[in-house]
Structure 1
């Protein structure tokens, strides 16, 4: 749990550093040099512009389409994460027994608990840090979107619905919606685990708060990306986990009692 929080804090630092790069004022073009520009920012800028032209210069609709395409591209990784989450839920009763068996707080007992916990994970092919991998993939894309929007005049100068893509949402509707949807997404992913591990509540709230803070400060196009991506993830999780989500949660609560 602490590792995940530290990872999130590290990613926040990376976002802050990259979003403040001096390149942010330089237009992105096909001739832009550097790995970041050539393989992340320009391809995103090109994709958004390409689909916008197909739909009458509707850059908001284009961002929605590109977001869905990106989600489809990383779908195998997200499915793996969901499957790993389900496996973690199935192991919760055994993890509870291990904690009860090694309830003493001395260093030797806690070390033994950690060893047997890792052995249990290895036996069932579960990676406790798998939930962080999608975040590692999404952060560069999110930062790339920020650069593509700010460095592509056609994107930054267009509006969609009630907001300008290159400016903050004046009514804070998208940031709040992005945070709320992220909370729902996290809740679905963690269903069945937070009931017996109160520390999971920290992760449940930390990510949505982080998204809201960023979304309030950054262009509305980023909030649009996150809202669409979160809706995609919620639907995906419901389809993959289905009725098992509720059953796992009830089973975990029963094991806690």
Structure 2
């Protein structure tokens, strides 16, 4: 979501809300968002701006696919699955392992809590819904080694239950092995018939990091081969089997310019009517 649909930690603009509302209400499109953001963040930054009657055309995979949220006809959310309770059982153990490791290496770890205005030290540890995130301050050059070391440290205690991977430019995420965008996409593919989507539905996949080993690469599921891909970032992998679009603009500006052109949307639509049933998945 960040850097693709919205600026980092930002919300949708009125024009962007209008575009998504047209897709949901006029063009009868199923919109699926797969993001590392929390469920609360997705609801607040995206869904709160969409009319309740249109939200049933949305499926949200938060926490890197760790939770799946769908809206019912009344516009209320319900979970299909949620890894948060499972991760909560291990959260303190993971945090203690991280604290012990970073202190032994001479780093200065700090636990970041919601509402904190400033962070001291050079390793900020934030406990989230379905993951623990480390932000490295001045230690970016050591990130690769820290990822390898923490992977071994955590595996020695918890086996293969968790994965440790680099995120963004200076962060490290520790999350359940089942919390992946690949799992989210496979779950979506399995549910398409229940959502009223044809098995040969055309898909439009938008992301900003499709390179080998990057998170959005997991969105290129074989089921959608032949579908359209728009990269809102600078990544240039081998999109074998997919139709690729580029653009002069990257980030959210590029994404919504692409959606407006690809779906031939009106510059501004005053009225959004509900479709007669979702037929295509984008």
Task: Give the TM-score range, shorter chain.
Answer: under 0.3
Q: Return the structure number with greater helix share.
A: 1
Q: Return the structure number with greater strand share.
A: 2
Higher RCO structure (Cα 8 Å, ≥6 apart): 1
TM-score of the superposed pair, with normalisation by structure 2: 0.26
TM-score of the superposed pair, with normalisation by structure 1: 0.27
